[in-house]
Amino acid sequence: MARTPKHPSDPTDLGRNRTGTRSAPLRTKEMLENTAAVPGAMVDTSGLAMARVELSEAAPPVGTMPPPGSVKGMAKAALEALQGEKATVFLDKLGERLAFERTGVRLYEAVLAKMPAAHLGKGSLSPDRVRRFRDEEQAHFRTVREAIEKLGGDPTALTPSADLAGVQATGLVSVVTDPRTTLTQCLDALLTAELADNDGWKLLIAMAEAMGQEDLASRFSRALAEEDQHLVSIRRWIAERLEGQLGAKLPAPEFGVPPPA
């Protein structure tokens, strides 16, 4: 594959950013003079709020859970062990994790594509580590998929929470796949994903325990241990890269240290 030469500038270089008012002081002065005559200095966002309240009351949900399919054997037993409608709450959150892990694999793949163009230096970040985390996300995806099947759910269905996880991730996907973003900027996006993912697994474990699914809770705990490692590593990579770019050590050593158990 033909490679184009690396662009010489970094986003933190002083450049031609024209977005601020100080880029155009004379025009800003004229703009402010013309705007000063606009009545109504009292900020009033009630128009948006009222429409949101009104429609929030009347609106149907973004969607619902799929109807139960043909449930047999172990799955039927497991489903019956869950209590009534609460099973769908658990299955919805499992669907969310499933979707999140699947997108997580793609986020890591996009970050891997950033690495050839990036200066990696002496830090702990390496393509092998990123690839390993990508593979672990895929393994977690399989773990959740098996859990949904065990409970008699349909892992190919998009549950409401899974759908919204996709909406949430839209911005993250845009950041990591934009050829103009740097590796460091993409690690920030990954950190956002992993912070949410980490809490997502903790919630799943708690829900599995609450519903008497000790086996699932145990499997999810193993996934969480790996997710903890992802989080710690990404924090460290970001800190190392920012130290390199700043030319100074970060004074807060707790950044990059695992959160208290």
Among residues 1, 8, 14, 55, the one that binds another protein under rule CB under 8 A: 55
What is the nearest approach in angstroms of another protein to the Cβ of residue 177? Answer: 8
In angstroms, rounded to a whole number, what is the distance separating the alpha carbons of residues 65 and 45? Answer: 34
> Which of 126, 174 has the CB closer to another protein?
174
Taking residue 96's Cβ as centre, other Cβ atoms within 10 Å add up to: 23
Q: Is 18 in the site for another protein (CB under 8 A)?
A: yes
Under 8 Å between Cβ of 141 and 223: no
Q: Which segments of 45-182 does DSSP mark as H helices, in order?
A: 46-58, 73-81, 86-112, 127-150, 160-177
Q: Is 27 in the site for another protein (CB under 8 A)?
A: yes
In angstroms, rounded to a whole number, what is the distance separating the alpha carbons of residues 43 and 220? Answer: 47
In angstroms, rounded to a whole number, what is the distance separating the alpha carbons of residues 188 and 180? Answer: 15
What end-to-end distance do the CA atoms of the chain give, in Å? 46
Could you tell me how many residues make up the chain? Answer: 261
> Which of 25, 253 has the CB closer to another protein?
25
Please give the size of the binding site for another protein, defined by CB under 8 A: 37
Among residues 38, 248, 252, 261, the one that binds another protein under rule CB under 8 A: 38
Q: Which residues of 147-174 are buried (b: 16+ CB within 10 A; e: fewer)?
A: bbebbbbbbebebbbbeebbebbeebbe
Under 8 Å between Cβ of 221 and 205: yes
Contact region with another protein (CB under 8 A), list: 39-47, 75-83, 95-103, 215-223:
39-47
What letter would DSSP give residue 7? P
Q: Is 34 in the site for another protein (CB under 8 A)?
A: yes
Contact region with another protein (CB under 8 A), list: 29-37, 113-121, 189-197, 202-210:
29-37
Contact region with another protein (CB under 8 A), list: 31-39, 69-77, 214-222, 225-233:
31-39
| Range 135-174, binding another protein (CB under 8 A) | 174
What is the nearest approach in angstroms of another protein to the Cβ of residue 178? Answer: 6
Among residues 3, 8, 14, 17, the one that binds another protein under rule CB under 8 A: 17
What is the nearest approach in angstroms of another protein to the Cβ of residue 43? Answer: 5
Site residues (vs another protein, CB under 8 A): 15-21, 23-24, 27-28, 30-32, 34-35, 37-48, 50-52, 54-55, 174, 178-180
